[in-house]
Chains A and B, each alone.
Chain A
């Protein structure tokens, strides 16, 4: 069974641009979560989707948004990029709701110049 797939793996943007990251969950998983990982702040929760509905949102500005499609694939978007948005963005999927057993992808590494 294929794991969680994230694209692109690496990307470089400049301040003020926007970016869209994509995540394909494990087949059959309906819950998708996104996390930001930086050396300074560690792993921080961005948002979670289940059956196309956002169920939870972390403490990030409105520039960070996401969505989930009917096939459970998810995208997140960051608009008006800032230098501090440089990070590894991790997507995770799970079979069940309210579980800590998440299956993470390898992440999309975003560099903002």
Chain B
């Protein structure tokens, strides 16, 4: 598994602004990427996914961008709302089955 530190990066944004959360992955063989949101006291919640044959995918108020050249993934949230405050995790699923490898996470704080 991955070793992560105690201190997660934090992104603070003003309500209504757009948020961009970044993630670097290390396994060039990974072909499927997912973003999860975890609110305090809850389990992670699926947001959006993207396969390696795509470089962009849009959902409701969210867009995921994949740059395989530099092994970088980003999640864009449009018109960020207070309810978007949470920890956001990127994950890879490059192996058979539902084994997900999660990144360290980024805390998103939305200021009203």
Contact = CB atoms under 8 A, between A and B. Distances in A.
Interface of A: 4, 31, 33, 35, 39-45, 48, 50, 55-56, 58-59, 90, 92, 94, 97-107
A40 B4 contact: yes
A33 B45 contact: no
Contacts, number: 89
A42 B98 contact: no
Interface in B92-112: 93, 95-105
Contacts of A59: 1
B75 to A, nearest CB: 14
Q: Which of B43, B93, B101, B105 is most buried by chain A, counting CB atoms within 10 A of its CB?
A: B43
A40 B6 contact: yes
Contacts of A31: 98
Nearest to A4: B43
Contacts of B41: 106
A84 to B, nearest CB: 13
Given A41-B4, A100-B32, 17 more contacts: A40-B5, A42-B1, A42-B104, A43-B44, A45-B100, A45-B101, A90-B43, A92-B44, A92-B98, A100-B33, A100-B49, A104-B43, A104-B44, A105-B43, A106-B41, A106-B42, A107-B43
